[in-house]
């Protein structure tokens, strides 16, 4: 009987210090899991260092490694999407190139898959080498995302996962421009389970995930997977209307009896500023959704391939 094929998708952006070690540790996993065939697709995501040259060397030495070079950086989710469009295995692993997703955990994913689970994802239990602000941002994101998506995005779930063919094919059919891949895997459902995965510090190099980029991705992930913020606008508008109407009646009676008071000028100004700040917040939420719609209407691809190695083309 032929062995089952496991694809591994790895976006890499400026990871010249990590890719050689990554390939070495993956080969050890391949040797250990001898009952499977493996095919690794590394997506060179517009790097500005020697990542591309090192990946070419890795692919030339081992046919189990294939490389897709994108025309520019399409960020993590664009790289993952490019990989998903090129896999055909019985299952697929998604991971990062900086070795914060330990390749050795793939064996644990496989055991869960063999037990019948179709979407096996890593739950980050510890973030080594991560600053306090980044940790706070992550905790806040998962708290808000979990509430707004009715728990579809599990707390501390990462992109590091193994998914069955039926799962990645379902996600591949979702042709959205604003992609938050872990949200898409949560949306399609299937039999899912999380396993704890401590996240070690980067093997080398510097993280490209700055706070602003992470916050931008968090907003996109929330707005692309939930319309509850729009409901917030409706609820807030209705609440303010009821509050205004409820306050208007007694104030009108008071003005008729005692005349127009002048002592509350500061309070009125504060209330006006509060209302305008809420209106600005609501306009901001609407603009975020409008931006998402704008990207969808343009219909541009999620990635552009510049070159391929190992695909027989």
196-240: per-residue pLDDT in tens?
Answer: 888 877 767 666 655 555 566 556 656 666 556 666 666 666 666
Residue 251's pLDDT is what?
A: 62
**What percentage of the chain carries pLDDT values higher than 70?**
64
Question: Is the confidence at residue 55, as pLDDT, over 90?
Answer: yes
- Residue 162's CB is within 10 A of a number of other CB atoms, namely 28
Residue 55: count of CB within 10 angstroms of its CB: 29
Per-residue pLDDT at 184: 84
Burial degree of 38 (CB within 10 A; 0-12, 13-18, 19+): buried
3-state SS, residue 96: coil
Alpha-carbon distances of 90 from 39, 65, 94, 260, 276, rounded to whole Å? 11, 17, 14, 76, 55
Q: Which residue has the tokens 């060179």?
A: 44
pLDDT surpasses 90 at 151: no
> pTM value?
0.70
What's the mean pLDDT when you consider all of the chain?
78
Average pLDDT over residues 57-78: 89
Structure tokens at 271: 């209330």
Q: Which one has a higher pLDDT value, 215 or 5? A: 5
DSSP 31-52: HHSTTEEEEEEEEE-S-SSSHH
Distance between CA atoms of residues 120 and 113, nearest Å: 7
Is 157:122 a contact under the CB 8 Å cutoff? Answer: yes
The 3-state DSSP class for residue 74 equals: coil
């Amino acid at each position: 009987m032929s062995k089952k094929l496991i694809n591994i998708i790895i976006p890499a952006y400026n990871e010249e210090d990590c890719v050689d070690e990554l390939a070495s540790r993956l080969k050890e996993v391949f040797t250990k899991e001898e009952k499977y065939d493996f095919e690794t697709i590394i997506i060179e995501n517009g790097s500005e260092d020697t990542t591309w040259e090192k990946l070419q060397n890795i692919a030339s030495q081992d046919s189990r490694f294939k490389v897709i070079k994108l025309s520019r950086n399409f960020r993590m989710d664009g790289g993952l999407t490019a990989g998903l469009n090129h896999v055909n295995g019985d299952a697929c692993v998604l991971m990062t190139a900086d070795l914060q997703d330990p390749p050795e955990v793939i064996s644990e994913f496989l055991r869960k898959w063999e037990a019948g689970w179709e979407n096996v994802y890593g739950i980050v239990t510890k973030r080594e080498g991560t600053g306090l602000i980044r940790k706070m941002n992550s905790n806040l994101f998962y708290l808000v995302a979990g509430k707004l998506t009715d728990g579809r995005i599990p707390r501390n779930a990462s992109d590091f996962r193994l998914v069955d063919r039926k799962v990645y094919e379902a996600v591949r059919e979702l042709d959205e421009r604003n992609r938050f891949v872990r949200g898409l895997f949560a949306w399609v459902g299937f039999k899912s389970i999380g396993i704890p995965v401590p996240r070690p510090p980067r093997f080398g190099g510097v993280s490209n995930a700055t706070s602003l980029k992470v916050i931008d991705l968090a907003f996109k992930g929330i707005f692309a997977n939930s319309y509850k913020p729009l409901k917030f606008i409706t609820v807030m508008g209705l609440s303010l209307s009821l509050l205004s109407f409820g306050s208007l009646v007694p104030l009108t009676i008071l003005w008729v009896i005692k005349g127009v008071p002048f002592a509350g000028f500061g309070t009125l100004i504060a209330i006006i500023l509060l209302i305008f700040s809420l209106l600005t917040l609501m306009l901001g939420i609407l603009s975020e959704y409008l931006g998402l719609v704008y990207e969808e209407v343009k219909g541009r691809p999620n990635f552009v391939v510049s070159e391929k190695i190992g695909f027989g083309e």
